[in-house]
Structure 1
Amino acid sequence: MENGGSSVPRRQLGRKLRELRESAQLTVAQAIAALEWSKPRLWRYETGQVPVHPNDVDAMCRLYGASPDVVEALKSLARETKSKGWWHAYSEIPEWFQLFLGMEAVANRIRQYEAEVVPGLLQSLPYARAILGQSVTQPTDDQLEKQSRVRMQRQHILTRTSPILEVILSEAALLRGSDGPTMVDQLTTLLAFAERPNISIRVVPLSAGPHKAYAGPFVILDFPRETPARDPEPTTVYVEQPTGALYLDKPHEVAAHEAIWLDLVDRVALGETESRRLIEQRAREWSQ
């Protein structure tokens, strides 16, 4: 769990390759014509969606006029994109989510707002099965079991001192559930997680009224500097959708979500102690 697989080097390499192309004043159309590639192939490379073979890096760098030192550095980075994280044992995990798992594994701070359900990192096994069973893909029992195991394995990162996990969830997530025993188990699990020093859980009560997070759930991931020679990953906002996800790291995109987060923190969410009392109250109600 300590390593992020290939996600971080893939994204770093993709950014460097895109910067080289843009510095060479080549459009995507010009680049793919010269390389005789498809547009999706170049897009997947530049966005870090897939590993990149060093030979492909060499071809791109020669087209973009990169110096020999840069070419060798990027080919070395390309070799890192072949490393694998624990999730590669699960072939059914889509590429867009594998990218998130790698980023989640190396982030040093994770901030998450959730409106309808308890976040995956804090779910109990019965609750995870109940939630995953509602997927639009209608998973089989075997798929549901594998997906549940992945969700539980993700939680191993919380046994470390890093990342710091800050969660704000709507009270609706405490009220919406499949059955009493499952919800009591989940809310008890939530309270146990809240005892850990690196985890903060706060609740937005239904009485709070309108707030800036009306557009829906998101995750903000911050990253440490790996080495003095390599820039840290930029803060990235992850927004999941039924069949894919958005990875937003442009300054204005991050700033917009930071503003939403601050509105939740400063104006809308209950404090940790008040949130704990509300969770305990909802757990008692589910037990009746």
Structure 2
Amino acid sequence: MGDGESEDTGTTLPRRQLGRLLREERSATGMNLEQAAALVQWSRPTLSRLERGETARIRLTDVLALCEAYGMSAETTAVARGYAEQVPAKTWWHGYGDLIPVWANVYVGLESSATVLTIFQPLVMHGLLQTTDYARSLDRLFFRDHTEAELDRRIQIRSQRQHALTRAHEPTRTLVVLHESVLRTVVGDPHIMSAQCRHVADISTHDNIDLRVMPFRAGAPLGAAVPPFTIMDFARVTPGKRQQEPSQVYCEGYAGSAYLEKRTDVLLFRQAFQKLQEESLDARSSRDLVREIARRHESER
């Protein structure tokens, strides 16, 4: 069982995201807690609890009053409103077209602060493992209206995310199960797939990465279709530090993404991953298969 999973906390992801946003906006104004609280006729402890995501009840009018006091832009105020309207949710569905815009990407912030990532991908390569050419091939299809400059920016962000796996100091511990179909489904062309498979094989040699391939012959070990998911675990809280982020499950879909943090949900996905990993090849055999598939793609050029 991962850190932050011993019990369900009283806070929620939208509530914590709202608190972070308001804290950052207050800091940008140069105001301390006392000064900011006075502007909206609050006490310092009340505002402090809101910024920590620990307020039991949040009123939208209070949030909007803070946004006005901080001089927040209409766009950022819309993000705060979106969080405020979702604060009770233990399971939060974040649609791509809802009030939280793409630039306020919740997942990227969580992923970058996670100490352990547990990933299952059944069809396409996870963003942390994608080559530039593979990523561009996917993005050109999904973001059809984007300019090349916008696609370049997305790929740059993805590359920055990937540094967490290979940095010299405390790289993110990463457990991955890829279905064999991820490696055989041609994204772009065989040349791109060959390079992508070689990249996966190479990065799987890092000590912090445990990558397994679930072969076609494993069938459906859970008896049901499983969506792509990532379990994010965070460092243990230490005395004097802010409350730790509880473990999160991120399930990605075509129309949006679900964030789950209830203990029972996290445990369910942990058990699912364990079963998927048990039905996968071991690390060495997985690497051998990835390289074999890379050679097959190369021969199809």
1:249-271 Cα deviation digits (max 9, x unpaired): 011111111111111122x1111
Give % identity: 28
The structure richer in helix per residue is 1
Contact 1:225 1:232 in 2 (8 A): yes
**Partner in structure 1 of residue 180 of structure 2:** 171
Query: Is 1:48 matched with 2:17?
Result: yes
Amino acid in structure 1 at the alignment position of 2:138: I
**Partner in structure 2 of residue 197 of structure 1:** 207
1:154-194 Cα deviation digits (max 9, x unpaired): 11111142310111111001101121210111111111111
CA distance in 2, matches of 1:182, 1:262: 31
Amino acid in structure 1 at the alignment position of 2:295: R
1:28-83 Cα deviation digits (max 9, x unpaired): xxxxxxxxxxxxxxxx962625722668x959x999xxxx67426436648xxx9x
Residues 11-160 of structure 1 correspond to what in structure 2 (within 5 A)? 46=15, 48=17, 51-52=21-22, 70-71=45-46, 73-74=48-49, 77=52, 94-95=101-102, 98-135=105-142, 138-158=145-165, 159=167, 160=169
SS in 1 for 2:124: coil
1:187 to 197, 216, 228: 197
CA distance in 2, matches of 1:221, 1:107: 6
**Partner in structure 2 of residue 228 of structure 1:** 239
**Partner in structure 2 of residue 8 of structure 1:** none
Q: Of the two structures, which has the highest relative contact order with CA contacts closer than 8 Å and spacing of 6 or more?
A: 2
1:251 to 228, 238, 263: 263
Contact 1:194 1:200 in 2 (8 A): yes
Contact 1:58 1:75 in 2 (8 A): no
Amino acid in structure 2 at the alignment position of 1:182: I
Contact 1:164 1:199 in 2 (8 A): yes
**Structure 1 residues 272 and 135 mapped into 2: Cα distance closer, same or farther (>3 Å)?**
same
Contact 1:220 1:235 in 2 (8 A): yes
Deviation of the 1:287 alpha carbon: 0.8
Contact 1:45 1:51 in 2 (8 A): no
Amino acid in structure 1 at the alignment position of 2:46: V
1:213-244 Cα deviation digits (max 9, x unpaired): 62310000000035323332111001122343
CA distance in 1, matches of 2:272, 2:162: 26
**Structure 1 residues 252 and 243 mapped into 2: Cα distance closer, same or farther (>3 Å)?**
same
SS in 2 for 1:133: helix
SS in 2 for 1:130: helix
CA distance in 1, matches of 2:247, 2:11: 19
Contact 2:119 2:231 in 1 (8 A): yes
**Partner in structure 1 of residue 66 of structure 2:** none
CA distance in 2, matches of 1:233, 1:47: 9
CA distance in 1, matches of 2:268, 2:104: 23
**Structure 1 residues 113 and 97 mapped into 2: Cα distance closer, same or farther (>3 Å)?**
farther
Please identify, of 45-54 and 233-242, the stretch whose mean Cα deviation from structure 2 is larger.
45-54
1:73-116 Cα deviation digits (max 9, x unpaired): 436648xxx9xxxxxxxxx9945862111111111100000011
SS in 2 for 1:215: coil
CA distance in 2, matches of 1:175, 1:47: 40
SS in 2 for 1:113: strand
Amino acid in structure 2 at the alignment position of 1:203: V
Amino acid in structure 2 at the alignment position of 1:46: R
Contact 2:134 2:192 in 1 (8 A): yes
Given the two structures, how large is their TM-score scaled by the length of structure 2?
A: 0.67
1:162 to 150, 164, 171: 171
The number of aligned residues is 231
Query: Is 1:211 matched with 2:218?
Result: no
**Structure 1 residues 265 and 96 mapped into 2: Cα distance closer, same or farther (>3 Å)?**
farther
**Structure 1 residues 191 and 45 mapped into 2: Cα distance closer, same or farther (>3 Å)?**
closer
Contact 1:45 1:52 in 2 (8 A): no
Q: Which runs of 5+ in 2 are unaligned?
A: 1-8, 27-32, 54-69, 71-95
SS in 2 for 1:145: helix
1:280 to 281, 284, 291: 291
Contact 2:37 2:44 in 1 (8 A): no
Given the two structures, how large is their TM-score scaled by the length of structure 1?
A: 0.70
